[in-house]
Structure 1
């Protein structure tokens, strides 16, 4: 798919690190599957992956984590 940010690059399957921040909580999610632009590096998550990323972030905030690092496993 064509990147909607740079309008030049094409995306390919890859893995990215997603950083979420809410209040005093920072969550780093590593090895997140995504479509990654080969030109600018912008990434796109599918619906299932986005749901898992947000759930991991909400859980960290709920548990009062200050910094949490998670290897995201998506089937």
Structure 2
């Protein structure tokens, strides 16, 4: 599959760090499985993985964390 951002690279399985903001909370989730472009580094997440990442971010924000750093957990 070609990268939708740079149009030159190819997408390969890898892991990325995702940063999300929920209100005043910054959530950083490491080692998230993704398809990563070998040219520009842009990534895409499968729908199930994206939902899990958003859920982890929402949980951190609900605990009133200011900064939360997590590892991805399936």
TM-score range, shorter chain: over 0.9
Q: C-alpha distance in 2, partners of 1:33/1:56?
A: 14
The number of residue pairs the alignment matches comes to: 74
Tell me which residue corresponds to 2:14. Answer: 14
Question: Is the aligned partner of 1:61 residue 2:61?
Answer: yes
Distance 2:19 2:67 in 1: 11
CA distance in structure 2 between the partners assigned to 1:42 and 1:69 by the alignment: 21
- How far residue 5 of structure 1 moved from its aligned partner, in angstroms, is 0.3
**What is the CA–CA distance in structure 2 between the aligned matches of 1:13 and 1:32, rounded to whole Å?**
11
- Structure 2: state its 5+ residue gaps: none
CA RMSD of aligned residues (A): 0.7
Q: Give the deviation of 1:24 after TM superposition.
A: 1.4
**Normalized against structure 1, the TM-score is what?**
0.95
Stretches of structure 1 that go unaligned for 5 or more consecutive residues are none
When normalised by structure 2's length, the TM-score is 0.96
